[in-house]
Structure 1
Amino acid sequence: MLNLSSFFHRSAPSMVGLDIGRSEVRMVEFSGDRAHVAQLAYCAREALPDGAIGEDGIDNLRQVMEAVSRLWEKSGSQTRQVAIAIPSAQAITHILAVPAGSSREQQAALAGKHAEGVLPYPLAQALLDFRIIGPTRDTPGQLDMLIAAAHRDDVEDRIAVTESLGLQAVVADIESHAALTAVARTLPAAQTSSTFALVNLETHGALLSLCCDGCVAGERQLAIGHRQLQGDLQQYDADQNDVLATYLAHAARHIAQALQTLRQQSSCAPAHIVLAGPGASIPGLVEAVHRHTAVSTLVAAPFAGVALTPGIDRGKLAVNGPACATACGLALRRFDR
């Protein structure tokens, strides 16, 4: 049974961010009751077997449940409520202008009507939510409303994973939006309000999100997963530099092309490119992306400035940080008020 009411549900007093990725699961937990005084209580990753999750969703629930169970056991967490991520490829978001004086009921009707026209499946099969994100730029009397929708089966599979451990999923967020939350808090105010690109580099592929004024203005899936790179580096020991250079040029070129497309579609030019995900720390990638795009490029540091509880290894955190950007953003939802 679906026990998650919305994508934008109010957070819980104590809540863990759980990111079920294509090749691994990640968990982040904060302590405290305010974001600006929060402490990082736990951050970890657990690998998934090949084939546990496919392009269309979870293929082997048992393997995913076992991986999350191992992660939870190692953490020692007593928290029972979690925020989960919905893959961006399995979710649909739109920004719709609505009258400033419209009621919640009128907004719900507009969201449903709009969703019916863009969803590739019946509205009855979707989990739909909406929220007002601010006034419509250059249009007095209008408000921008963010609509988010995903197929119920995609959400329920992830809820089934949490329920197998006796946990309760109380918040769902789209993975790129959660990662944006984590990254934006570490950027200076001048950068946060400007446009920047977030590239989430996973083992099997990548997602480039163009972020403008705190919102996702456009996204592109990229076929630049570094799984093949790992295999090639093991196979061609003598030519590792050549293998790495070929991958870097390939990845940077795809990022540059996707960024150019999104810039033309949205008229937004990013001041920075932020690399996240487990592939963000590949040696030479920052420099290669900068060369191909001429845009300032850096690796995500979602835990920058966060106090750490005793026992957290700063060296491991520096390695795990970029991969756990989405889980960090999910965990921060506990501070929504």
Structure 2
Amino acid sequence: MLFKRKRPPLLGIDISSAAVKLLELSKQGARLRVESFAVEPLPADAVVDKNIASVEAVGKVIKSVVKKSGTRLKHAAVAVAGSAVITKVITMPASLSERELEDQIALEADQYIPYPLEEINLDFEVLGPNAKNPELNDVLLAASRRENVDNRVAALELAGLKAAVVDVEVYALENAFALLKRQLPPLPADRAVAVADVGAMMTTFNVLHQGRIIYTREQGFGGKQLTEEIQRRYGLSYEEAGLAKKQGGLPDSYTSEVLEPFKHAMVQQIGRSLQFFLSSNSHREVGALVLAGGCASIGGMDKLVEQKLGLPTSVANPFVEMTLAPRVNAQALRLEAPAMMIACGLAMRSFD
């Protein structure tokens, strides 16, 4: 154990439906430092419903984002979507060694996973003693169809990177959530925090209690709808509409006729997810809400959500207490921060 090799430092690479986000972190004492980051858009339909449709196209963008970031790291952590993963908590004798546990799970996995074992990637984590029987351990099983994992590994390899960790997006988000605690209002111990991650194609609504995700809901709503409305209203190509959305230059009517209706639709979607949670978890109240994803950067979005839903609302920024390497553009990082939660959680796997 004295000479056990340390895991090499990892890049966090988030492959979303619309972009590839790269983040490199280092640790100095207890403090994290951003060494490099970069974001590059993906071609349309390269990733569909969070599944990689074109490994070559995604690999090309990863290669570009690595070059843009200037990183020298060659190992990465990526994640598959929570909807592509089956998870189940089972119990196993606490007396089993890790090897015995691995063998036992391999023998029994087909009881819990509805796919042939040769078609899946399977992993497990011991959560700790079972609440009702201390002689048993609770064990989390996670399984995903093999192509979900293999396509991400292959895309990284095309960019000259090695996949050291394949995580699940919700667990990466949970990992990064620890960085937001000081940005939240003081809450009673029984209150939960909701994180609404509104990306390009999908809104993922997570509820966390004491730092653990207890509820997840996905719905097909995101920034693509705003881009398409700009495209339709002003006769632009999809690429031109996307640039105009970020850089400005649209007619004065844009704010009142396009942006404001989208913002209210976004509040409605978040409110609906919140009601779904409350109706299925009547014993648990939500005390605060965090906006993440690209759409969280829309000006005044947090204030509108707070006003309409009556919850203290903030915009996610996992980098507030981190230092930055000289080559990191602080303003660019701040603009991308709400969309970097998953990349941040993945990059933090370097320190496990």
Question: Is the structural similarity TM-score above 0.5?
Answer: yes
Cα deviation per residue 1:142-195 (whole Å; 9 max; x = unaligned)? 543322211111001000011112221111111121122112223139669752
Which residue does 2:221 correspond to in 1? 224
The one-letter code of the counterpart of 2:273 is: A
TM-aligned CA distance change 1:161 to 1:91, over 3 Å: same
Residue 280 of structure 2 corresponds to 265
- Alpha-carbon distance in 1 for matches of 2:315, 2:51: 28
Structure-2 change in CA distance of 1:103 and 1:191 (3 Å): farther
1:211 to 205, 208, 212: 208
- Give the corresponding residue for 1:300: 316
Q: Aligned pair 1:80/2:74, yes or no?
A: yes
How many angstroms apart in 2 are the aligned matches of 1:38 and 1:245? 37
Identity across matched positions, percent: 29
Gaps of at least 5 residues in structure 2 are 235-250
TM-score, with length taken from structure 1? 0.86
1:121 aligns with 2:115: yes
Q: Which has the higher contact order (CA 8 A, sep 6+)?
A: 1
In 2, the alpha carbon distance for the partners of 1:273 and 1:11 equals 37
Q: Which runs of 5+ in 1 are unaligned?
A: 1-9
Q: Deviations over 1:243-285 (max 9, x none)?
A: 2232222222222222222234344322221111111112232
User: Hey, what does 1:152 align to over in structure 2?
Assistant: 146
Match of 1:256 in 2: 271
Counterpart of 1:27 in structure 2 is 22
Which residue of 1 is the match for residue 305 of structure 2? Answer: 289
Question: For residues 28 and 247 of structure 1, what CA distance do their matches in structure 2 show?
Answer: 30
- Letter of the 1:213 counterpart: Q
Q: Does residue 247 in structure 1 map to residue 262 in structure 2?
A: yes
CA contact (8 A) 1:19 1:326 kept: yes
- CA–CA distance in structure 1, aligned partners of residues 106 and 303 of structure 2: 44
Match of 2:329 in 1: 313
Give the partner amino acid of 2:213: V
1:331 equivalent in alignment to 2:331? no
In structure 2, do the counterparts of structure 1 residues 311 and 218 end up closer, same or farther at CA, with 3 Å as the change threshold? Answer: same
1:277 aligns with 2:293: yes
Contact 1:53 1:60 in 2 (8 A): yes
Aligned residues: 325
| TM-aligned CA deviation for residue 127 of structure 1 | 1.1
CA distance in 2: counterparts of 1:115 and 1:309, whole angstroms: 45
Partner SS for 1:295: coil
TM-score by length of 2: 0.83
Which of 175, 178, 190 in structure 2 is aligned with 1:184?
178
| Closer/same/farther in 2, CA of residues 66 and 262 from structure 1, 3 Å limit | same
Return closer, same or farther for 1:293/1:123 CA change in 2, 3 Å cut-off.
farther
